[in-house]
Chains A and B, each alone.
Chain A
Amino acid sequence: MSTVTVFGLCAAAVASLGLYGLITDPRPLRKIIAFNLLGSGVFLLFGVVGRRGAAAGIGNDPVPQALVITGIVVAFSATALAIALLLRLFQTTAFLEPSIRAAPGDDPDRAAS
């Protein structure tokens, strides 16, 4: 098995793990972690694609590398924004009621994700 095959399979598996977590875990913070895992799988896939395109003395096509670097920064920003929202929700509801348990997912118009 070549590098590309091993890590290609690994990328696909990691991405689907992230998908599974994102779908099933009711806790928003766990969804954020799962999203990061999913994103990491997608980036790895880009890496595998770039590795296949090694040429001209460069071991990994620089264009996918640049795309992944941009993608990592965007994913980090998304994580920061999501966590800030979550902490703010925790603050406001902790102030209003004893827990943030607002019956997750019960009422489509009010439910936490």
Chain B
Amino acid sequence: MLPPAPALEAITTPSGFLLVPSIAVPLTGVVLAFVLGDRYVRLVAYAIIPLGLAIAVTILVALRQSAGPLVYLLGAWPPPLGVALRADGVSAVMLAATAVVICAVAVYAHADFKDTATRAPFAFWILLLAIWAALDTIFVGGDLFTLYVALELLTFAAVPLVSLEGHPDTLRAAIRYLLFALLGSVLYLLGTALLYGGYGTLDIALLSHRIQAEPASFLAAALMTAGLLAKTALFPLHLWLPPAHAGAPAAASAILSGLVVKGSFFIIVRLWFKVMPALPGLPATQLLAALGASAIIFGSVLALRQQRLKLLVAYSTVAQLGYLFLMFPLAFEASGKLEDGNALSGGLLQAVSHATAKAAMFMAAGSIYARLGHDRLTDLHGLVRTMPLSVLAFALAGIALVGVQPSGASLAKELLLRAAAERGQWWWAVVLEAGGMLTAAYVVLVLAHALVPTDGRIASTGPALHVRNIAALVLALCSLSLGLLPWDSYLAVSHGSVSGFFAVETLTKTLSSVLGGVVLAILIAPWPHPDAYLTRWKMVASILGLFQRSCHRSVGCLERANHVLCQWPAASMFLLILALLFGALMVGAHTFRPG
């Protein structure tokens, strides 16, 4: 017989009703904006967004006072027949981060999408609210099929944002994004069919009690994981991301890169940590992290090779998404299960800090593009004099990404390093450190171009908008100060040994990753550097040239490999191969389990 449902997860908790407006309010916004139409869409969005932010904050407060997670049974029907909403600390943090990023983007987009009877503002504001509703549903949804519908809602809201400008290139990017995302979600749906067939429920809490190590559940887990990875654009399934994220309008890119990819990532976390913590086994988690590590290397190196700022930032997203997957083997306990702890907290903090920092970065890049009419890196020389605030926002966001104290990324890194030390998996520590260096490399590259002095002034075509810069700056500062927040009420963070800001050790670590970044930037970036002053030291330059050439050769191989992986047949076959591989590893881990 099936074990009885745990009582705690099947009753509406006192403040559980708060979860309803977190979804219903943005949905109401979508409906109202659609009816009221062209001239009022922005007004509706500006009425809804503060309300949504208030709800997210209320949920944070309520969760702190509640003994366990917030639970709400929709229609008062208990699962498995009904659908429950549940919010634990992890959901609350993601809800709040989403609300903050959406607010900043709404401020940023104020001028771009004015209340006029035209197409773009109508679509943008409705889609923005829809993305919010979809993400909130993903964060609090307690049923795998509800998550599927929310995931599709997210895709349908994200794809038109890519092609908002209507150029053929962005249309192609949107088609590719849509088709690959659909492939991913069908595989997810296939997994849910198998799970329902095996256990008669799709409720996360019930499934976690019923699920067994059986062929159907292994296949379901593998298919769902692979499908969600395709939607998260984890290497080697990233073919759609750079053109889509670089082609969208800046405000949309900020949302797509900062938030949308986190939706499917969040479901993977739910799946592996909540639904089936005992199912994956160590080898599958190692594969996931290995993909993450490859993402960091490929994404960062390709970012360094881009000629356009927005593409650079998009490839940086490919790299940063890799970080999110390093936590899986580090959360694998001796009990043979994935468990909450430093690793999970580190991974989610990484997601939150990337959401804020990357949104800020895209906003800064968008301001630069809007002002100059282009974003060619080599033509950004002297930018700091023309657009000091945008460069500052980009720099702060970059510093936050690199993981300088007290940014969220630095705390995340520390938590992950600690987990790596506890598990004795030193190789992931190496990846984490190297990743910091690679991130520093492309941030330094952009700043070097922007800071290099020029004689002539940069020709600007667009107006300077301070509101935009301030929105980007605030978000970057947010990301930079995330490490100071009291996370322990929501995430499992052991605070004991967080090192001080100005400890010698911290400073040397930061300096070494920045210096390493400088060297990498010089070695890998393709064009003659803004480091023209180096030519004065001919010796150094010639030695450097030698290294540079050999570096370029190996980077050339990497680029060719990436080119192949970005072809549709290769990427979609990799998707299937990954699904089969995950399945095989999970089966293997259970067949050859020691003892």
Contact = CB atoms under 8 A, between A and B. Distances in A.
Q: Are A and B a genuine interacting pair, yes or no?
A: yes
Interface in A8-57: 15, 19, 22-24, 26, 28, 31-32, 35, 38-39, 42, 45-46, 48-49, 52-53
A22 B178 CA distance: 13
A19 B575 CA distance: 11
Contacts of A38: 183, 186
Contacts of A70: 145, 149
A98 to B, nearest CB: 14
A91 to B, nearest CB: 9
Given A23-B569, A108-B563, A88 B171 contact: yes
Given A74-B149, A109-B242, A112-B176, A42 B186 contact: yes
A85 B178 contact: yes
B558 interface: no
Contacts of A71: 189
B151 to A, nearest CB: 10
A15 B190 contact: yes
Contact of B572 (A23, A67, A85): A23
Contact of A113 (B172, B193, B242): B172
A5 interface: no
A85 B174 contact: yes
Interface in B177-202: 178-180, 182-183, 186, 189-190, 192-194, 196-197, 200
Nearest to B153: A74
Interface stretch (B160-168, B287-295, B486-494, B534-542): B160-168
B298 to A, nearest CB: 12
* Interface size class, chain A: 35 or more
B566 A89 contact: no
Chain B binding surface SS class = helix
Contacts of A28: 175, 179
Nearest to A64: B196
Contacts, number: 119
Given A31-B179, A78-B152, A82-B179, A109 B311 contact: yes
Contacts of A26: 568
B156 interface: yes
A81 B196 CA distance: 29
B159 interface: yes
B61 interface: no
B243 A102 contact: no
B59 to A, nearest CB: 27
B168 A45 contact: no
A31 B180 CA distance: 10
B454 interface: no
Nearest to B200: A53
Nearest to A74: B152
A49 B201 CA distance: 12
Nearest to B189: A42
B566 A113 contact: no
Interface residues of B, number: 45
A110 B242 CA distance: 10
Given A31-B179, A46-B196, A109 B243 contact: yes
Interface string B314-356: 0000000000000000000000000000000000000000000
Contacts of A78: 152, 156, 178, 182
Contacts of A32: 179
Contacts of B145: 67, 70
B183 A35 contact: yes
A105 B566 CA distance: 8
B179 A45 contact: no
Contact of A92 (B149, B166, B182, B193): B166
Contacts of B171: 85, 88-89, 92
A85 B156 contact: no
Q: Looking at B166, B176, B243, which has the most chain A CB atoms within 10 Å of its CB? A: B176
A16 to B, nearest CB: 10
9 smallest beta-carbon distances between A and B, as pairs: A108-B566, A49-B197, A113-B176, A89-B171, A23-B572, A112-B172, A46-B193, A45-B193, A109-B243
Interface of B: 81, 145, 149, 152, 156, 159-160, 163, 166-169, 171-172, 174-176, 178-180, 182-183, 186, 189-190, 192-194, 196-197, 200, 239, 242-243, 246, 311, 562-563, 566-569, 572-573, 576
6 contacts: A22-B179, A85-B163, A85-B171, A85-B174, A86-B175, A105-B567
Given A35-B182, A82-B182, A96-B168, 15 more contacts: A23-B576, A32-B179, A42-B189, A49-B194, A63-B81, A81-B156, A88-B171, A92-B168, A92-B171, A105-B569, A108-B243, A108-B563, A110-B169, A111-B172, A111-B568
